[in-house]
Amino acid sequence: MEIHHCENPVCRFVTRHAVPDTCPLCGGAFFLPSDGSDLVAADWVALGIESKTDGRFDDAFSDFEKAAAEGDAAGQCMLGLAYETGEGVAQSWPDAVLLYRAAAGQGHAQAQCNLGWCYEFGKGVPQDAKAAARWYGEAALQHDPRAECCLAICYTNGTGVAADSVRAAQLYTLSAQAGFVPAMRNLAQMIHLGRGTAKNDEAALAWYQKAAAQDDARALFMCGQFYEKGFGVESNAPLAADFYLRAARQGYAPAQACYAICLEYGRGVPANPTEAVQWYTRAARQGDTQAQFALAVCCEQGTGTPQSWGDAIRWYSMAAAQELPQALLNLGLCYERGAGVRRNPEEALHLYRRAARLGLPAAENRIGALYERGDGVEQSWPTATAHYRRAAEANYAPAQCNLGWCYEYGQGVPEDLTLAAAWYGKSAAQGFARAQCCLGWCYEFGKGVELDEARAVELYRAAAEQGLPRAQCCLGYCTEKGIGTEADPAAAAEWYRRSAEGGYSRGMYNYACCFENGTGVKKDLPLAQQWYERAAKEGLPDAMYELGVWYEDGRCGPKDAAQALAWYKKAAEAGHDRARKAVERMEKLV
């Protein structure tokens, strides 16, 4: 390609492109052709940069080589970059370092910075953090923005220099003010965290916004985080979603995952689970652990995609392989329950232990449950209680409730109703329904706390309104009998109905009693019998005994001594004393 340069000897504009109407540097209108013999090193560098920009890497390498041959520092640096990237020549770190060192020795700031980077990461030279910081420092003295940022990172992490967050913040500021986008992001983070400078979320957001204005994906993502969480600005879900989307479209995995969350739950955008799964998948395929986990949950639950245990297990496994605690826990639950995989409590225990080592209290709680049942391990109440305690002391509500139960019944620890009520209280304060119900029982009967029936009803109601069948039954009983609240048979029957339909056998039994006696509902013996039978099938001895009475007395049809005796025997085998006596009585008659 023909070379032309501006006729102005001071200007030195040179190009291989079509000759422009006027010189972009000096405005001159006349250009002269050149065979290259009249060009100086700086001209070859300019031509090389033009060729590199055009993607003509062979020409660029040749141009930089001519400049470097004249000892030009810029030419040496650009030729070193060609060797680093393998553009126009076979990639070679040693050759790149050799050229960077030559240019750096002449004080070329970019080369000094590049040489520092080679030392930092051991590219073409032995890794040497101190040498890296020294070369970054040389370039930073010339106010090279990239070098200032790299040196700031060294001070942030204590790499090659003593950690100094104040100095790091100063260097980030210099680099950011010069327009270097990574420094803007890092400075924003320092200000947000209050490291090396005063914490100021408004100022942090301003720097993120400056970087985002240059369409930087990470900065766009952080703007989304600030607007989502209300850091330094009023929370704005639609604006957060928009920032996430802009970053996601650039392929930034964390932003793709966050935008997927917005779509799944309708945060700032209309809910669209199907599209959410698409974005989760894009992020998950890049190795984003949170996206892999969220995608696994969607596959498990059939949210935005057909339900698939196989896909759920696959994505849980990928996230677990990266030691994501929640993924280890959920994968362990799959093995414990045999969901999507062959049931394997030993493997579940292994996964729970990995998650527990990473500080996940829920995993400690599951380990406790395995030892409580002797599932995959030798049964041990003391070991179960120890794991419950670790999780409970980490403020995990289900474990606090479990530990309270251990104290209530003296399993693995000495029986202590006061401690039981205390642990139930900690769990109940977090809204855990089972603990609210257990604590309600403590207040109803004065176990470990001063008797307070009104407080018991309050706790039963809190748990019942969360759908806990046992609490619904307890609340129904208090409402029926006027314990801690005014008696209201109709309301009691309604709570019994909810409990019964939730599968709680005592709720079924009490609901049957309502139909038998016309308590809060119209008397209906066939319905009563149906609910007694359902409760009996759930293993409730009282219901078995009651059915024996019904068949013996013929309360809802012909008397049937054989059926009566059969039910009495089932109840007796379950430890029901009156049923045992009924069996003895009927067998004597026979």
Alpha carbons 327 and 320: distance in angstroms, whole number: 5
Alpha carbons 133 and 173: distance in angstroms, whole number: 18
Is 233 a residue whose pLDDT tops 90? yes
Alpha carbons 293 and 304: distance in angstroms, whole number: 15
Residue 52: closest CA among 65, 39, 41:
65
List of residues 6+ apart from 331 with CB closer than 8 A: 313, 316, 317, 320, 351
Q: What is the pLDDT of residues 440-494, one digit of tens each?
A: 999 999 999 999 999 999 999 999 999 999 999 999 999 999 999 999 999 999 9
Residue-level pLDDT at 124: 97
Q: What value does the CA radius of gyration of the chain take, rounded to a whole number of Å?
A: 37
Q: What is the mean pLDDT of the chain?
A: 97
Phi-psi region of 355 (alpha: psi -120 to 50; beta: other; left: phi over 0): alpha
Is 29 a residue whose pLDDT tops 90? no
The structure tokens 């700032």 sit at: 268
Alpha carbons 155 and 141: distance in angstroms, whole number: 15
The structure tokens 């603990």 sit at: 435
Is 500 a residue whose pLDDT tops 80? yes
pLDDT grade, residue 10 (50/70/90)? confident
Runs of H (alpha helix) within 55-108:
57-69, 73-85, 93-105
Residue-level pLDDT at 420: 98
Residue-level pLDDT at 11: 87
User: Is the distance from CB of 405 to CB of 438 less than 8 angstroms?
Assistant: yes
Average pLDDT over residues 370-378: 97
In angstroms, how far is the first alpha carbon of the chain from the final one? 117
Question: In b/e form, how buried is each residue of 291-315, taking b as 16+ CB within 10 angstroms?
Answer: bbbbbbbbbbeebbbeebeebbbeb
What the block records as the tokens of 229 is: 């969480």
Average pLDDT over residues 24-41: 90
Residue-level pLDDT at 557: 86
pLDDT grade, residue 499 (50/70/90)? very high
Instruction: Say whether 3 sits in a helix, a strand or coil.
Output: strand
- Give the pTM: 0.86
Alpha carbons 549 and 586: distance in angstroms, whole number: 12
Alpha carbons 384 and 382: distance in angstroms, whole number: 5
The structure tokens 């979603």 sit at: 241
Is 589 a residue whose pLDDT tops 80? no
Is 266 a residue whose pLDDT tops 70? yes
Return the minimum-mean-pLDDT range out of 28-42, 268-282, 497-511: 28-42
Residue-level pLDDT at 590: 60
Residue 400: closest CA among 354, 357, 434:
434
What the block records as the tokens of 134 is: 């020294």
Is 258 a residue whose pLDDT tops 80? yes
Alpha carbons 174 and 135: distance in angstroms, whole number: 17
Residue-level pLDDT at 403: 98
Q: What is the pLDDT of residues 395-410, one digit of tens each?
A: 999 999 999 999 999 9
pLDDT grade, residue 1 (50/70/90)? confident
Question: In b/e form, how buried is each residue of 458-497, taking b as 16+ CB within 10 angstroms?
Answer: bbbbbbbeeebbbbbbbbbbbbbeebbbeebbebbbbbbb
Is 238 a residue whose pLDDT tops 70? yes
Is 516 a residue whose pLDDT tops 90? yes
Alpha carbons 537 and 549: distance in angstroms, whole number: 16
Share of the chain above pLDDT 90, in %: 94
Delineate the domains of the chain, giving CATH numbers in brackets: 360-413 (1.25.40.10), 431-538 (1.25.40.10), 544-589 (no CATH)
What the block records as the tokens of 24 is: 């972009």
Q: Which amino acid is at 106?
A: Q
Name the residue with higher pLDDT: 215 or 557.
215
Is 536 a residue whose pLDDT tops 70? yes
Q: Which residues pair with 14 in a beta bridge?
A: 5
User: Is the distance from CB of 205 to CB of 231 less than 8 angstroms?
Assistant: yes
Q: Which helix (H) or strand (E) holds 579?
A: helix 577-589
Is 279 a residue whose pLDDT tops 80? yes
**331 φ, ψ to 5°?**
-65, -40
Average pLDDT over residues 176-180: 98
Neighbours of 529 (CB within 10 A): 20
Return the minimum-mean-pLDDT range out of 171-185, 277-291, 312-326, 556-570: 556-570
